[in-house]
Amino acid sequence: MTQTIEIPIVGMDCADCAMHVQKAIAAVPYVLSADVLLGAEKALVEVETPPDDLALIRQAVAEAGYTVPGGQDVRPPIAAADFTGKVMRLFGLVFGAVLFIVVIGEWMGLFERITENVPWYLGLGVVLLTGYPVFINVIRAALRGKIIAHTLTTMGLLAAVAVGEWSTAAVVVFFMRIGDYAESFTAERARRAIKELSALAPQTARVLRDGEETVVPIEEVQADETVIVRPGEHIPVDGEVLEGHATVDQSAITGESMPVEAGPGAKVFAATLAQLGSLRVRVTHVGRETTFGRVIQMVEEAEARRADIQGIADKFATWYLPVVAGIAALTFAFTRDPLATTAVLVVACACSFALATPMAMMASIGAGAKRGLLIKGSKYLETLARADVLLIDKTGTLTLGRPRISEVIIVDSGLQIADRDSGDQPAIKNQKSEILRLTASAERYSEHPLAEAVRAAARERSLPLSKPQDFEALPGMGLRARVDGHAIAVGSRRMIAPDARLPEADALEAQGKTLLFVQVDGELAGFLAAEDTLRPEIPAALAQLRRLGVDHIELLTGDNVRTAAALAARLGVDCQAELLPEDKIAVVKRYQAEGRTVVMVGDGVNDAPALAQADVGIAMGAAGTDVALEAAHIALMREDWTLVPQVFQIARKTMQVVKFNLGFTAVYNVVGLSLAAIGVLPPILAAAAQSLPDLGILANSARLLRQD
């Protein structure tokens, strides 16, 4: 039986670093697979049997040039936003100043004079000293038969030193290190969203034990214990409020800045802030099992689900070195000019191909997490960007999911129902309150939103509920149970009364209401009409999605045709009704078979199979919902339809940035190699030019961190 273990890794600061470490770990004998996550600074390693120690993995990581710290996950401190911004601006100023000096110096012939007057061994010493960390990684990779992005740059350095251009080699090392530092800070800025969220998780909890409040480490808190939360404290666990009232800021989970009121019976989540009031909370989940813990884990692991376009870029970077080496060989064969040949090797930039995709993806996933958009991998951003079919569930997705019973209608079928409150049990014909009581009793343990509406209607009329027996849920249809000796069936018209002529039911369905038909002892007794409220932001959100290029939007529901058609006509979308969960899967597969890219939006409970089958499944209001977090590829942590077009926009903008990065890199390298090969670009200017694509890609990708 395989198992996945997490291993923290210190020292990675670029996409190529992560790929290099991943290959090193994957080569360890007992490792089945490995995913190294630059953003989370850890590796997810799949093994057949967990090893007693990590000696071999530590050794492999060390040989790759990095470190596995002892103990638990070790993270560097969070870099302040203003500090990171100042450092990035400083990099830009230094880079620009040195580039200006290089250009002017080359024009005035200063570098030739320096090279002539300074002993070569001093220049070589400067190159070796400043480039030592890079050279060590290149040598280690070469000994393992691997090629990394800096391998090509190192070849250029060797060529420059060989032809006496040590000043060129020094400039290459300078710009290479500047680029590495810039990438490191950009990566840190991208992962800062995760770190800032992680920092919100309380490390201790105030637990009520033996009648006294005791502060204990969070890992010692147990399920069903009572936790005390005072005003101004972060809630340390997921749980249910037992006593007290508080205003809770849930932005860490949902991204919503407006606080919510929490009182007895309300669900609260770890890392949220009790701003006003105090609470006593019964613990349901602790630590990594909380909604907050799982969100952090999923965002960290999103990097492992890489976009297809990233794989293409990685393969291209692998083949780039032999291509450049071939161009250099041809340049020397035709020109016999060692300087031109050196310039070809120096100007080539392989790092930019490795950076083009992961930096943009990491930035978008991190920025989305802070806004309550849980994107589980870059592959889903890539897929979402080209989606053209949107399928939508109704209850809890398009509607608020809090329906109410508006009518109880009795069908005059001659059915006699005994009055349980009467001593001599006289027959009372089709009494509305008794039909409602029997239905609410049968629905007593159901989690469907309509069941809660039925129970609420019974509570409003103060009807006492009985305990159902032989309860059987029928997904997509309804339920059966025995209540007070009666065989009760509650469900759709298709289940209860497929052939009955009921004009009043037809009229209510035409108004867009959902009907629950009730059968007592095998006879149709009546039906309940439920109405739900359409989310007010839906029409504007759908209009925005159409502008974004989603050309087919369709409603999928288990409701009857009339109810679905009324809502679909109101929204201007297509619809399919009376669908079971397997029917929704079939609809998704049919569109996929036609070559369409399908996005499914649902509440993540009844729609979990369809969400998983879709190319991209989006779950609404996933906070605290295990099924939604697991089944969906993208989870919207609050019930807000404005987030749906937002995540589409993020995906499209991200892919625009990625494609620009790749296109810019390709054109830049083609031009640079061509100018170097014909002798227009001397080695010293080639050295200055080779880091420009890296900084351009980093700056372009960093724009995604500020998406509105």
Catalytic residues: 393
Separation between Cα atoms, residue 516 and residue 439, nearest integer Å: 9
Host H or E run for residue 273:
strand 273-276
Q: Which residues neighbour 33 within 8 Å (Cβ) at sequence distance 6 or greater?
A: 26, 45, 46
Q: How far is CA 75 from the centre of its chain?
A: 21
Residue 75's nearest CA partner among 37, 53, 42, 36 is 42
Long-range CB contact pairs, 551-554, < 8 A, 24+: 551/388, 552/388, 552/389, 552/390, 552/596, 553/390, 553/392, 554/389, 554/390, 554/391, 554/392, 554/587
Query: What is the spatial distance between Cα 267 and Cα 124, in angstroms, rounded to a whole number?
Result: 66
Residue 404 φ then ψ, to 5°: -130, 150
Closest Cα partner for 493 from 531, 471, 519? 519
Tell me how far apart the alpha carbons of residues 35 and 37 are, in angstroms, rounded to a whole number.
6
Q: What is the rounded CA–CA span in Å between residue 700 and residue 118?
A: 39
Q: Is 109 left (phi over 0), alpha (psi -120 to 50) or beta?
A: left
Radius of gyration of the chain, Cα coordinates, nearest whole angstrom: 32
Q: Measure the N-to-C terminal CA separation of the chain; round to a whole number of Å.
A: 45
Please check whether residue 419 is in contact with residue 431, taking contact to mean a CB–CB distance below 8 angstroms.
Answer: yes
User: From CA 633, how far away is CA 637, in angstroms rounded?
Assistant: 13
User: What is the maximum span of the chain, computed from C-alpha positions, in angstroms?
Assistant: 120
DSSP reduced 3-state for 677: helix
Residue 395 host element (H or E): none
